[in-house]
């Protein structure tokens, strides 16, 4: 007997379907719920139009300080009592801030979700926000950011963002601010942000077994006592590119790896090219067998991993390649990376590569959307970007039907190897001299 030598064929595929979506409205807010029969846990996310983009210049990080202050007690109970009430349900509050939204998430066993949502709403709508607590949380956040910035990556990210979005106000500083901007946040800033944006109803996303969840009660819990109209979204920032490629060194003495961040601006999420752009980036740097990972990791052994992707929000977009490479091969790794980006831009993709990319992206819609948390995340994409309920079925079809011509055109149009900003965070004493070949070299003081 021996191993089976021929690769088996494909069995019969079951049709793809996103969970059924139901809606309930109350007090100006809407519950958007996905039915996951049999799931023992349920997830709920209060989604508020209060992202980092609403922060004041120079006070970047205000929303993050607010997010971390929500659990410092409410008008009804102090922080210790709040923690015990919530954690006694097996739930934890997950407040987060992105460019477009402020989210407060909880997950809990299905019968306890209503209580968890009541507590999440209590913290979101009526936090105590005692000035001494807020000031302490702000100081702790400055320390936490300094801890984070001691890791490789955050300073390189900040340098890239500052260069790409230099003229775009809030977007030119990190999502959660930096140690300087957070230190400048005042208690009044935090209170004002809460008053202006967190008392509006917003949307409650729910993913769970809807046969056992009372959406009307969840709507009451989330929206009772709120006020305010939905906000008009601001327009896109547009795609501005520099005249030529440039290089920024972020010094990290004695670093055994160089952290690479190469990027340029790209369209926002609403672009009609979303699917071909995603597939082009998958071929270039998304899949394990992508051009970048194959060459830089599997052939050259320069890195543990390298990724290229488009990141898009409601108003902004950017293309980015990210990797950590051994210090000694910094320049060769950048050279090879630029080579693969240039090749993809100029020559597009092949059918064999695209076949992997399309099937992977389409398959991931079922493989990676099994949990209530993942489904709640998928619902948020629908709500934030105004997409229809059958969007994921359409998206899957669009992935599978994308042609080499579509994707190659998107690569040509939305990659710009000569306009990249190349950020290298590493040991300047060792790598500085070899970076000039990649474009005018400056050093970031971060």
Which of positions 346-365 make contact with another protein (CB under 8 A)? Answer: 355-356, 359-360, 362-364
In the range 179-238, which residues lie near another protein by CB under 8 A?
A: 220-221, 224
In the range 96-115, which residues lie near another protein by CB under 8 A?
A: 107-109, 115
Per DSSP, the three-state class of 201 is: coil
Residue 377 CB, shortest distance to another protein, in Å, is 14
Residue 265 CB, shortest distance to another protein, in Å, is 28
Q: Does 92 bind another protein (CB under 8 A)?
A: yes
Distance CA 115, CA 121 (A): 10
Per DSSP, the three-state class of 289 is: coil
Q: Tell me which of 29, 201, 372, 377 binds another protein, using CB under 8 A.
A: 372
Strand pairing report for 246-251 and 421-426: parallel
Q: Tell me which of 118, 155, 265, 419 binds another protein, using CB under 8 A.
A: 118
What are the residues facing 80 on neighbouring strands?
none
C-beta of 53 vs 283, nearer to another protein: 283
Residue 442 CB, shortest distance to another protein, in Å, is 24
Closest to 165 (Cα-Cα) out of 241, 234, 99, 100: 241
Are 223 and 27 within 8 A, CB to CB? yes
Distance CA 219, CA 216 (A): 5
Find the part of the chain contacting another protein (CB under 8 A) among 44-52, 58-66, 149-157, 158-166: 149-157
Residue 340 CB, shortest distance to another protein, in Å, is 15
Residue 297 CB, shortest distance to another protein, in Å, is 6
Give the count of alpha carbons within 13 A of 435, CB side only: 27
SS (H, E, C) 398-418: HHHHCCHHHHHHHHHHHCCHH
Element (H, E) at 67: helix 62-69
Q: Tell me which of 350, 370, 394, 442 binds another protein, using CB under 8 A.
A: 370
In the range 69-88, which residues lie near another protein by CB under 8 A?
A: 71, 79-80, 83-85, 87-88
CA angle at 150 for the pair 145 and 156, rounded to the nearest 5°: 90
Residue 85 CB, shortest distance to another protein, in Å, is 6
Find the part of the chain contacting another protein (CB under 8 A) among 8-16, 232-240, 341-349, 403-411: 8-16
Residue 241 CB, shortest distance to another protein, in Å, is 31
In the range 9-68, which residues lie near another protein by CB under 8 A?
A: 9-14, 16, 37-41
Distance CA 200, CA 223 (A): 8
Distance CA 444, CA 425 (A): 10
Q: Does 122 bind another protein (CB under 8 A)?
A: yes
C-beta of 38 vs 272, nearer to another protein: 38
CA angle at 34 for the pair 211 and 22, rounded to the nearest 5°: 80
Residue 264 CB, shortest distance to another protein, in Å, is 25
In the range 279-308, which residues lie near another protein by CB under 8 A?
A: 287-289, 294, 297-299, 301-304
In the range 245-274, which residues lie near another protein by CB under 8 A?
A: 254-257
Residue 171 CB, shortest distance to another protein, in Å, is 25
Residue 56 CB, shortest distance to another protein, in Å, is 24
Q: The tokens of 27 are what? A: 């007090």
Q: Does 313 bind another protein (CB under 8 A)?
A: no
Distance CA 269, CA 399 (A): 16
Element (H, E) at 133: helix 131-149
In the range 322-351, which residues lie near another protein by CB under 8 A?
A: 324-326
In the range 395-424, which residues lie near another protein by CB under 8 A?
A: none
Q: Tell me which of 94, 144, 192, 444 binds another protein, using CB under 8 A.
A: 144
C-beta of 237 vs 407, nearer to another protein: 407
Residue 33 CB, shortest distance to another protein, in Å, is 17
What are the residues facing 322 on neighbouring strands?
261, 307
What number of helices (H) and strands (E) belong to the chain?
16, 12
Are 87 and 234 within 8 A, CB to CB? no
C-beta of 13 vs 167, nearer to another protein: 13
Closest to 119 (Cα-Cα) out of 104, 109, 133: 104
In angstroms, the Cα distances linking 29 to 151, 194, 225, 360, 380 are: 40, 17, 11, 36, 15
C-beta of 78 vs 437, nearer to another protein: 78
């Amino acid at each position: 007997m021996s191993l089976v030598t021929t690769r088996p064929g494909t069995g019969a595929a079951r049709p793809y379907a996103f969970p059924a979506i139901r809606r309930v409205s109350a007090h100006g807010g809407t519950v958007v719920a996905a039915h996951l029969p049999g799931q023992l846990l349920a997830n709920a996310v209060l989604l508020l139009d209060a992202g980092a983009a609403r922060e004041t210049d120079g006070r970047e990080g205000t929303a993050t300080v607010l997010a971390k202050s929500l659990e410092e007690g409410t008008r009804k109970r102090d922080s210790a009592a709040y923690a015990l009430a919530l954690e006694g349900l097996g739930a934890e509050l997950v407040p987060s801030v992105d460019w477009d939204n402020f989210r407060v998430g909880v997950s809990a066993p299905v019968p306890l979700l209503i209580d968890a949502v009541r507590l999440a709403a209590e913290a979101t709508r009526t936090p105590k926000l005692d000035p001494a607590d807020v000031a302490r949380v702000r100081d702790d956040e400055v320390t936490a950011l300094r801890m984070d910035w001691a890791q490789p990556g955050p300073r390189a990210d900040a340098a890239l963002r500052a260069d790409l979005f230099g003229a775009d106000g809030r977007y030119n500083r990190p999502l959660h601010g930096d140690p300087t901007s957070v230190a400048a946040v005042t208690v009044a800033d935090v209170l004002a942000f809460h008053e202006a944006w967190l008392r509006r109803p917003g949307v409650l996303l729910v993913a769970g077994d809807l046969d056992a969840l009372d959406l009307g009660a969840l709507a009451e819990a989330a929206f009772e006592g709120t006020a305010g109209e939905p906000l008009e979204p601001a327009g896109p920032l547009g795609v501005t590119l520099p005249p030529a490629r440039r290089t920024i060194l972020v010094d990290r003495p004695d670093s055994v790896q160089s952290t690479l961040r190469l990027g340029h601006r790209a369209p926002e999420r609403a672009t009609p090219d979303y699917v071909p752009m995603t597939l082009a980036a998958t071929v270039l740097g998304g899949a394990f067998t992508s051009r970048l990972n194959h060459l830089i990791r599997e052939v050259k052994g320069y890195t543990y991993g390298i990724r290229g992707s488009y990141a898009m929000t409601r108003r902004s977009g950017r293309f980015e390649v990210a990797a950590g490479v051994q210090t000694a091969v910094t320049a060769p790794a950048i050279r090879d990376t630029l080579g693969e980006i240039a090749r993809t831009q100029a020559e597009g993709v092949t059918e064999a590569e695209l076949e992997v990319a399309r099937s992977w992206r389409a398959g991931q819609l079922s493989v990676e959307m099994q949990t209530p948390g993942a489904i709640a995340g998928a619902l948020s994409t629908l709500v934030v970007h105004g997409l229809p309920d059958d969007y994921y079925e359409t998206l899957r079809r669009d992935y599978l039907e994308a042609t080499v011509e579509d994707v190659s055109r998107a690569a040509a149009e939305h990659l710009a190897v000569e306009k990249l900003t190349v950020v290298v965070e590493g040991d300047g004493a060792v790598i500085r001299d070899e970076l000039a070949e990649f474009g005018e070299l400056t050093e970031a003081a971060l």
